[in-house]
Chains A and B, each alone.
Chain A
Amino acid sequence: MLRTSTRAEVAAVSTPRTPWLVRVRHVSPFVLATAALVAAVLIGVTQGTTAIPLWTTVAMLLDRLPFVALPVDAPESWSRILFDVRLPRVAAAGLVGAALSYSGTAYQGVFRNPLADPFLLGVASGAGLGASIAIVSPLPIDSYGFAWVPLFAFGGACLAVTLVYALSRTGNLADNATLLLAGIALSAVASAITSFLLLTGGPNTYPIFSFLFGGFNTASWPRLLVALPYIAAGAVAVLVQARALNVLQLDEEQAAHLGVDVRRTRLLVLAGASVIAAAAVAVAGIIGFVGLIVPHAVRMLVGNDYRRLLPLTAILGATFVILVDLAARRVLAPQEVPVGIVTQILGAPFFLYLLRRGRSAGSL
């Protein structure tokens, strides 16, 4: 009995797994992730106070595609609910989830710190403060003037990441704790100023509330379309550096010896990740820990190759936030829980778990 099981173990150990070098072009995780995303979108658009059957929903969606015409038997109000309420909301959740996860992955790569995340680094609070300043300032907010908010959010995000970087630089860059403490301190300051603006800003401060709590209840197509180019540009800037990020997993000296321009890579990735995080905050406010949870899970699934990691975290980040938003809508229905609160309740214990594990592994 014992002999048999021992032999089975030896056989299992000595049977070589597909070597990594052969698995380089393996694509199935992308297929699986995309399937998960499609499923999440479909669940997201069918759930709501008005019951619209799944197949009617699918038919209505397909009917909107070019060159597709389906006979859809649905009242006009269903169409408005689907296309003006549910779809922008699901799209906003997906875009923000993808953006936060992607920028979290990028920050983790550039800081060589598995706990870096737009929320913990203070980038989200900085962007929130920037957006709040734009909201209380005399700058026009409505219509075309809306573009000021993401711009100020980006300014706040960049200022925050620069400060955090400079503060953590006084110690050793590899010192994970210093980076996080700098982020927390900065977050506290930014949140305090945001609260001050909220109290003194007069009648038009309601949008600041939605920034603080983070959520998609105000999602609309124009708001998404304003953020999209920022996110796309930032994503490209980071993706171009994916191979350099792979090399930066080694120490800085080795990266330089391998021909990586460390300063340039760092600058491009930090700027790209900050643009993305700021745009996400401009759409949905401060939603914490998404950039920590999703990249961590994806790393466990596919390893640390940033060329695969970055796109996959985007797809699965979108899936994750769509599902969390669904939960936020449905758990206390008809009352909604802001998504930011849900992710913080989920994320904080996860963060503590990573922190404990990192300490026992000696990486903190």
Chain B
Amino acid sequence: MTELAPPLLEVHDLLVEMAGRVLLHDVSLSLHAGELVGVIGPNGAGKTTLMRAITGRVTHSGTISLDGAPLEAMRGRERARSIAVVEQLPEAPPTMHVSELAMLGRFPHLGLLGRETSRDVAITRDAMTRAGCLDLAERLIGTLSGGERRRAFIARALAQEPRLLLLDEPTAALDASAQGEVFEVIRTLADDGAGVLVVVHDLSLAAAWCDRLLLLHEGGVVASGAPREVITAEHLALVYGPFVSLLSHPDTGKPLVVPSGLDARVRVDAHP
């Protein structure tokens, strides 16, 4: 990644209004190929709305461009060849095989009546390998654990061969080990050259894995930059209130955000 290369994704002065309410305002963001950027913020901050704006699912003003070309000009299948999305809780029939799900990612690359070629099969297998679910190929979706399920949907997204991958809370409702496995997959994708934008609820997880973070609050950007610049005591107090404390990881030095309970507030009040 060189600073001179134009950003893969560039969002400028994004404004999203729905039913008279401002959901996002003055949001700007740039993301280069090879970068893993986390979008953080409390519930209702506009994280998912930002994702939906980038994928063209909500109307907005301001510009969103991919490799310098405005995204508005791209229609369905063309967009799907460049941008892949893994939603928060994607659905698939429980009787579908993982390999079938992954193969659906080839849809935007095939004609209406097109048949999958051996090249499509190879790309799908590669996607499943990279998502760490090739060994699950013959399993049914309904039999997967939460983490396996998430990786199956990531494989579907990778089969689209996207330049930009958007993930909305890929680790929600997963245990700690599955969270780590999913983020390892995502990190490797970015290291291999994809641009990845991921909505993360868990601040420590975001700080541990992302190159940069974007902190949203009430539809606006509070801070953006390296995890240590974004996750600061002031920002946390402003956005998350008094019940969280900021620590530093003893090994990596990255920010750790932990619940603090009432004691912390008493301490803060006593020593302003």
Residues of A within 8 A of B (CB): 16-17, 19-21, 24-25, 240-241, 243-244, 246-247, 249-251, 253-254, 256-261, 303-305, 361, 363
Contacts and interface: CB of A to CB of B under 8 A. Distances in A.
A258 B55 CA distance: 11
Interface of B: 55, 57, 76-81, 83-85, 87, 90-97, 99-101, 103-105, 107-108, 110, 112-116, 121, 124-125, 137-138, 160
A21 B121 contact: yes
Nearest to B104: A247
Contact of A19 (B96, B99, B107): B99
Contacts of A246: 104, 107
Contact of B91 (A24, A25, A247, A250): A250
Given A250-B90, A258-B107, A304-B93, A20 B76 contact: no
B92 A249 contact: yes
B92 to A, nearest CB: 5
Given A19-B99, A259-B79, 20 more contacts: A16-B138, A19-B137, A20-B97, A21-B99, A21-B103, A240-B112, A241-B112, A243-B114, A244-B112, A246-B107, A247-B104, A247-B107, A250-B90, A251-B90, A254-B91, A258-B80, A258-B160, A259-B80, A303-B95, A304-B100
Given A19-B99, A21-B99, A24-B116, A258 B138 contact: no
Q: Which of B96, B116, B137, B160 has the most CB of A within 10 A?
A: B96
A interface SS class: loop
A16 B99 CA distance: 14
A219 B112 CA distance: 37
Contacts of B100: 20, 303-305
Given A20-B137, A21-B121, A256 B76 contact: yes
A311 to B, nearest CB: 13
A261 B76 contact: yes
Contacts of B137: 19-21
B47 to A, nearest CB: 16
Closest 8 A-B residue pairs measured CB to CB?
A259-B77, A259-B80, A259-B108, A259-B76, A251-B91, A257-B85, A20-B99, A258-B107
7 contacts: A20-B138, A244-B112, A256-B57, A256-B76, A259-B79, A259-B81, A361-B94
A254 B87 contact: yes
Contacts of B93: 249, 304
Contacts of B83: 257
A360 to B, nearest CB: 13
B246 to A, nearest CB: 35
A103 B102 CA distance: 27
Contacts of B105: 258
Contacts of B87: 251, 253-254, 257
A227 B17 CA distance: 50
Nearest to A20: B99
